[in-house]
Structure 1
């Protein structure tokens, strides 16, 4: 579970919140002015976490003086608010023993908020903040402020607090907090929206996920989520919103509540349109910096294709088939090699559910050529490699059953001979030790390989028989090709996975 504001490097699950704070203490940038674009701004949200000055944030945040943290919360109090009175009643005044924060020359509220944002990543500091009314203070600010930066900081602090499982229930039970956070989805600022999605992803992974999922159920809220995903030009916001949707898919309790309503308001169509839009930009070098976005979208569609309710919609989508078809037929696969694994897994899931497209793809030689060209790109990814062989099996089986004329048969054999080396290299590098018990995954791919090779054998036998029956002069012209065909046929017949 990650903490902090949107950033490029997200630590793994094994890293603690405190470790993340220590890793982020290199450099600090100011948040720029925000410009809006059709409701969701285009400018990049900062990819860093606002830090406290090094003189004020100790190397070990757990040793920060509690009075200092309390004084930071005091600085965030909206003047004249009810929470200000409550806070004053709970805490002594600064001159009576609470150490005041020593601030720089920038906006005091923002500086204190940024330091608290950092400190909230530490569990001891987060617990201290919770005990000293930080939620009440943040909620009061969200209710009165019109500043996007103030809103971003408030939600960012809450997002870091929510990364601590022991605090999530208390956060969720705070009066009015759920409605207030969900309401931030209707803001028009990408930095605020990014933090809101990060917060929501965190709570949907927690033990309090059901109450938050139920709060997101209204169609207008889910439609707003999908509108943001489909319209933002901000890559950080796209990343956070897709991560939120992935969390919905990953948590069974949340999936049971939100998946069907999301499908109802157009989840599948929205992400397919988004994928199609990103693929169009591949030919525009100025847009290739969005390649990370394309990777995120493909991984999410891969997740969707593994769910029965989404797969049913996806398998009937001609638009999705066309987009995957376009990627597979790209001439230079190395430029899109990082996408190929997701593409073949998605296609394998669709073919398993929607066999109607097999006949049209089985005699499309450029498409089959593209599939073979992907083999070396997924050789180290067992799931993708298995998916690829399980795509080839029904396509080749369908092809060998078609009554092809001599010209089509020649083209098919030419393709198979040209890709023989790729097939052989892949198969030789993935032989299964016969003395080791075969796993279910190994058995699955063995079936796909065996079915593919059997279909290739039938195609080659038919072509060799046809060529061997021709005149001596014509047969002599194709003798070397026939010999290569026999080598391929022999290899396929004798191969034992």
Structure 2
């Protein structure tokens, strides 16, 4: 009986052992031993706070090979086990690099959350990443290090820790001389963030050497990767529109090194691609280039060179003339502001576009896309007023007058909608106080008065037109003329009464 009972008990124990082994195998398959699993909630909700011990364990796993072998403070028994603290030769293998990447990528994601990021910095993540950047020859490891730092830098308080970590910013600047696209994108992201931060002057001083600035320009000019173009030009934009101290330090040497010609060449390439093939991934590139040029054109001290470029003026005018603007609407609005800046600096350009009906139509068609940008709308109306001011409606021939009428009527919906929005804004006290009285809507009002004068001139001469026809296949509708004329009159009266 005893033997029978013992046999039964042994059978039960064997079954339990099998179940344990099965559970362990299942756990190993889902969560490999080299990558400790986070709390279950973390798998589904990145905003959930992760167990600090898990984060700390991941940071320790990022220690460089040499540092890792020294830091492993384990008993002799643990050191005898292969899996606990491998020899340096073992760590250099591809499997260990893959494990490092797994751990690093988890921390990269966690660094996007402020709570996790603060925990990581408190547990010396910056020192660990600094050490890796100094010794690692793997571009993937460098990319992950830079990605983590880039996410940490997005948190204002933590950016100060990056700046105060001895030698780290200089190491980051040195990564500009890598040849890896992803690494360079991350470096540009970090440097741009630094230039917009409270310690921007410190970052600018680190970028000041000519070889650094020349390298930034070289990257922007020579890379074929749209994302890297966007990030490198974004870095230049951060220099141009950042704090005054940053501009004073870096813009003059950049101009000497060819910043203006770089921007024009980049815009020329993007315009060439835009007119031959619409590639959505390149739209952000076009926009960031235009933003950088527009920021430079608005600079009080450094605008002359960029605003006097005839090639640049032609490129932005071509963009404004595009029929289908929806996909690049933001770029067209920026281009409109740039045109206004250039015309205020270089009046010689006005005659070049004053006879261009397609350009005038392009300005009107851009107005709806600037509905939320008061300054952009003012800039567009400024250009429109400059063009219409050159029209002598009483002396131009009937055909030319009819062309202007056609442009105004085709744009009448945009004009009426914009004037309605303007009247609502003009009644706003904050808007009224934001500009000197002599500047309030002056360009817009001049443009509207000129439009009404052109419409009236056409009404006077309409009997001489051949049955209201224009250019054969396009007729001028008298009712549309009257509606637009009435709209202009209402606006002028409301402005005069205000």
TM-score w.r.t. the length of structure 2 is 0.74
What secondary structure, in the 3-state scheme, does the structure 2 residue paired with 1:309 have?
A: coil
**Superposition map of 1:175-190 within 5 A:** 175-190=166-181
The answer to which structure, 1 or 2, has the higher relative contact order (CA under 8 A, 6+ apart) is: 1
2:51 is equivalent to residue 64 of structure 1: yes
The answer to whether the aligner puts 1:448 opposite 2:443 as a matched pair is: yes
Find the partner of 1:408 among 379, 400, 411. Answer: 400
Check 1:457–1:191 CA distance in 2 against 1; reply closer, same or farther (3 A cut).
same
1:205-238 per-residue CA deviation (whole Å, 9 max, x = no partner) reads 3333222210101122112112222332323323
Equivalent of 2:195 in 191, 204, 223: 204
Seen in structure 2, the aligned counterparts of structure 1 residues 363 and 154 have a Cα distance that, compared at 3 Å, is same
Query: Could you tell me which residue of structure 2 aligns to residue 193 of structure 1?
Result: 184
Post-superposition CA distance 1:180-224 (Å, at most 9, x none): 111100111111111111221222233332222101011221121
| C-alpha separation in 2, matches of 1:64 and 1:415 | 65
Q: CA deviation at 1:435?
A: 6.2
Q: How far apart, in 1, do the equivalents of 2:339 and 2:434 lie?
A: 18
**8 Å contact kept, 2:426–2:432:** no
Per the TM alignment, residue 357 of structure 1 is displaced from its structure 2 partner at its CA by: 0.9
Contact 2:332–2:366, Cα closer than 8 Å, also in 1:
yes
1:264-343 correspondence runs (5 A): 264-285=256-277, 287-343=279-335
Residue number in structure 1 paired with 2:350: 358
Change in 2 beyond 3 A, CA 1:475/1:135 = closer
- Alignment CA distance shift 1:143-1:57 (3 Å): farther
Distance in 1 (alpha carbons) for counterparts of 2:337 and 2:329: 14
Closer, same or farther: CA 163–130 of 1 in aligned 2, 3 Å: same
Aligned to 1:142: 133
> Is 2:226–2:281's contact at 8 Å kept on the other side of the alignment?
no
Task: For 1:475 and 1:131, locate their aligned partners in 2 and report how far apart those are by CA, in whole Å.
Answer: 80
Alignment of 1:4-403 (within 5 A): 58=42, 62-66=49-53, 68-81=54-67, 85=70, 87=71, 92-93=73-74, 107-123=98-114, 125-248=116-239, 249-285=241-277, 287-400=279-392
Is contact 1:282-1:288 (8 Å) kept? no
Q: Is the contact made by 2:237 and 2:291 (CA closer than 8 Å) also made in structure 1? A: no
Q: Is the helix fraction higher in 1 or 2?
A: 2
Distance of 1:166 and 1:494 partners within structure 2: 53
Instruction: Decide whether aligned partners of structure 1 residues 448 and 151 sit closer, same or farther in structure 2, where only a CA change above 3 A counts.
Output: same
SS in 2 for 1:439: helix
Deviation at 1:486, TM superposition (A): 6.8
How many correspondences in the alignment? 435
Of residues 432-441 and 442-451 in structure 1, the stretch that sits farther from structure 2 once superposed is 432-441
SS at match of 1:307: coil
Distance 1:352 1:93 in 2: 72
Larger radius of gyration between Structure 1 and Structure 2? 2
* Deviates further, 200-209 or 477-486: 477-486
Superposition TM-score, scaled by structure 1 size: 0.75
What is the root-mean-square deviation in Å for CA atoms of aligned residues? 3.8
Assess, with a 3 A threshold, how the Cα gap between structure 1 residues 491 and 54 changes in structure 2: closer, same or farther. Answer: same
Q: Distance in 2 between matches of 1:129 and 1:421?
A: 55
CA distance in 1, matches of 2:304, 2:219: 25
Listed as ranges, the gaps of 5+ residues in structure 1 are: 1-50, 469-473
Consecutive unaligned residues in structure 2, runs of 5 or more: 1-34, 79-83, 86-94, 470-474
Cα deviations by residue, 1:309-358 (Å, 9 ceiling, x for unpaired): 34322210112211111111122333433432212122122222222211
C-alpha distance in structure 1 between counterparts of 2:38 and 2:131, whole Å: 29
* Alpha-carbon distance in 2 for matches of 1:425, 1:169: 47
Closer, same or farther in 2 for the Cα pair 1:135/1:93, shift >3 Å?
Answer: farther
